[in-house]
Amino acid sequence: MPQISLAVVGAGDRGTRHARFALEHPDRARVVAVAEPRAVRRERFAAEHGLAAEDAVADWRELTSRGRRIADAVLVCTLDRDHLEPVLAFAALGYHIMLEKPMALDEESCRAVVEAVEKAGVILSVGHVLRYTPYTQALKVLLGEGRIGDVVSVRHLEPVGFWHQAHSFVRGNWRRSDEATTMLMAKSCHDLDWLQYVVGAPPKRVSSFGRLSYFTAEHRPEGAADRCVECPVRAQCSFDVVRFYGDRLAGGDHGWPLSVVVDDLTEEALDTALRTGPYGRCVFACDNDVVDHQVVAMEFEGGATATFTMTGFTQIGHRRTEIFGTRGEVRGDGQLLHVHDFLTGTTESIGTSAVSAVGAMTAEGGHGGGDAGLMDAFVSAVAAGDPSLVRSGPRESLLSHLTVLAAERARLERRVVELEAAAGDREIVRTPEALG
């Protein structure tokens, strides 16, 4: 397959990671330009990919204003509120687009994304990494083979992890729904997307409960300071960042989440960041408002049901799922699938780490191998001009995002919400496909 060229918008955590696919597979992709306002990130990215100064710019508009396409595809990896504008501009110029989730934050904007890419006739892949893991592929194959009969119900848990909750959703970028988005959209749009992919039917109605219970001023321990560096009671606190980020720096664990806190990986830079920046704040003295636990109940077309739990009060780990069918059940922990057959009484355990041959696409890789799988599928789709190689295209992703919006409305309005997706949006859930 021909090598494709990529422009990268946003050289933060995701943009940097996705672009490494090109370094790992130089025969398949190369990065020809980057847009990133933060000089440290831009220069580091340009050096990693050998870009000339004129191809490393501060704003994506400097790329679109050239008025011609300078790459086959663009990776849009800006923060959630900055997805719509670049997507519309790059689509109009004929770029194929890998867009980080969420595609956009409200129904109108999500529909505008879909309309723009369909009008331009370009490939869109949304960053629903869970669809691309070897684990999900193995699960889809066994469900497609009818190993547990028809799926009747599902129980699915997203264990966010206590420190990930504190890092991203209490202190970090996704702590406020007005500045970023809701927890369900930011974190769990993957799960509501994955559930409809696995069940193989569109959701019809949803209800939801959840709130911000713990990370509030009323739970602040007596004597606690506003920042961990000054806090006399931090030794007793699970959320102490001096220990948390300090241990990572000292231990050479310099990737995410430490890389979000400091660009310069030194003790001095970390100390300054914790004294002055958002990540040094007491978790009980932040300006956060997103929920720390939420449940969603769903009914799908055909009658299957699912319950989903997101909670920050866990160790960090893979999602855990039980799928109940007419002939058997599957239990999965993100790596192993245990398939029980009611007739024979036997249970088979399937390890899924080795299912794919693509680089780091193992359960231990980013997002259980989903990061590598997402880029692998997108690059293949662009090289072959075949949008069917993308498993998270515009219509699938639109339906997932509409489900998230409906569930959040159900939580806020304390009611069951019918999904009002148009007929065209509902016919897109694929039947189990041939998975390589």
Ligand X SMILES: NC(=O)c1ccc[n+]([C@@H]2O[C@H](COP(=O)([O-])OP(=O)(O)OC[C@H]3O[C@@H](n4cnc5c(N)ncnc54)[C@H](O)[C@@H]3O)[C@@H](O)[C@H]2O)c1
14 binds ligand X (CB under 6 A): yes
255 binds ligand X (CB under 6 A): no
Least separation, in Å, of the C-beta of 226 and ligand X? 24
257 binds ligand X (CB under 6 A): no
96 binds ligand X (CB under 6 A): no
Report yes or no: 113 and 53 within 8 Å, Cβ to Cβ.
no
Q: Specify burial of residue 405 (Cβ count, 10 A radius: 0-12, 13-18, 19+).
A: buried
Q: What does the per-residue mask of binding to ligand X show for 42-81, with x meaning CB under 6 A? A: -----------------xx----------------xxxx-
Least separation, in Å, of the C-beta of 385 and ligand X? 24
Task: Choose which of 72, 100, 240, 408 interacts with ligand X (CB under 6 A).
Answer: 100
Question: How many Å apart are CA 233 and CA 335, to the nearest integer?
Answer: 38
Cβ neighbours around 417 below 10 Å, total: 19
Interface region with ligand X, contact rule CB under 6 A, candidates 6-14, 207-215, 237-245, 272-280: 6-14
Question: How many Å apart are CA 73 and CA 87, to the nearest integer?
Answer: 11
Instruction: Kindly state the tokens that stand for 377.
Output: 């599928």
Least separation, in Å, of the C-beta of 15 and ligand X? 6
Interface region with ligand X, contact rule CB under 6 A, candidates 31-39, 45-53, 110-118, 356-364: 31-39
Question: How many Å apart are CA 45 and CA 39, to the nearest integer?
Answer: 10
Q: Which residue is nearest to ligand X (CB)?
A: 12
Question: How many Å apart are CA 114 and CA 117, to the nearest integer?
Answer: 5
Find the binding residues for ligand X in span 282-321 (CB under 6 A). none
| Cβ distance to ligand X smaller for residue 81 or 220 | 81
Least separation, in Å, of the C-beta of 135 and ligand X? 15
Considering CB under 6 A, how many residues would be counted as binding ligand X? Answer: 25
Least separation, in Å, of the C-beta of 347 and ligand X? 31
| Cβ distance to ligand X smaller for residue 55 or 100 | 100
| Cβ distance to ligand X smaller for residue 25 or 38 | 38
Report yes or no: 367 and 356 within 8 Å, Cβ to Cβ.
no
Question: How many Å apart are CA 379 and CA 318, to the nearest integer?
Answer: 26
129 binds ligand X (CB under 6 A): yes
Question: How many Å apart are CA 226 and CA 213, to the nearest integer?
Answer: 19
| Cβ distance to ligand X smaller for residue 265 or 350 | 265
101 binds ligand X (CB under 6 A): yes
Least separation, in Å, of the C-beta of 416 and ligand X? 28
Q: What does the per-residue mask of binding to ligand X show for 144-173, with x meaning CB under 6 A? A: ------------------------------
| Cβ distance to ligand X smaller for residue 121 or 255 | 255
Q: Which residue in the block uniquely carries the two structure tokens 């041939």? A: 434
122 binds ligand X (CB under 6 A): no
| Cβ distance to ligand X smaller for residue 88 or 350 | 88
Interface region with ligand X, contact rule CB under 6 A, candidates 33-41, 142-150, 285-293, 322-330: 33-41
| Cβ distance to ligand X smaller for residue 80 or 299 | 80
Q: What does the per-residue mask of binding to ligand X show for 353-382, with x meaning CB under 6 A? A: --------------x---------------
| Cβ distance to ligand X smaller for residue 7 or 201 | 7
Question: How many Å apart are CA 201 and CA 215, to the nearest integer?
Answer: 36
Task: Choose which of 7, 35, 105, 231 interacts with ligand X (CB under 6 A).
Answer: 35
> Which residues in this chain contact ligand X in the complex, by CB under 6 A?
9-15, 35-38, 41, 59-60, 77-80, 82, 100-101, 127, 129, 186, 367
